[in-house]
Amino acid sequence: MTFSIGDLARETSTKVETIRYYEKIGLMPQAARTSGNHRAYSAAHRNRLTFIRHSRELGFSLDDVRALLKLSDSPENPCAEADTIATQHLERVRSRIARLRALEAELTRMVDGCCGSKVAECRVIEVLADHSLCGHDH
């Protein structure tokens, strides 16, 4: 079974331009060409693109995806490196979540501190104008 680039895009919910980009940077192998010089993708292409898409949806960088793909191409090898990549990514995600929670707390303080009266008495404007009034580290 082969897929045109449009079919592959629909099958994997990926834009055609993204598929071409992944080919250009070497994440996806080049597709065979038909006699009419159209790309002809295989089920292996679809599976690889699905792997890439899922990795990207989970927030892995392109470098991490490249490393994970390389590992997946050698299924007999130990998975310690894949675990390391995922663990490092998880640590980055947790750090980002902590920063977002601090941001949420600061925005909550600003909004809760606003009396809703006049701009001259607005806590949101006041805090934005004077960084020293922020309740978080800068």
- pLDDT tens sequence across 108-122: 988 887 777 787 778
Q: What is the mean pLDDT of residues 12-34?
A: 95
For residues 60 and 90, the answer to whether their CB atoms sit within 8 Å is no
Looking at residue 137, its pLDDT comes to 57
Alpha helices in the chain (DSSP H): 5-12, 16-24, 43-57, 62-72, 80-112, 123-129
The amino acid at 112: D
The residues pairing with 40 across neighbouring beta strands, listed in sequence order, are 32
Looking at residue 136, its pLDDT comes to 58
Residue owning tokens 């629909």: 10
Six-digit token pair at 43? 């089920």
Predicted confidence band of residue 78 (pLDDT cuts 50, 70, 90): very high
Six-digit token pair at 56? 């990207």
The pTM is what?
A: 0.79
Q: Which helix (H) or strand (E) holds 39?
A: strand 39-40
pLDDT of 83 above 90: yes
User: Taken in order 101, 90, 63, 27, is the CA torsion positive or negative?
Assistant: negative
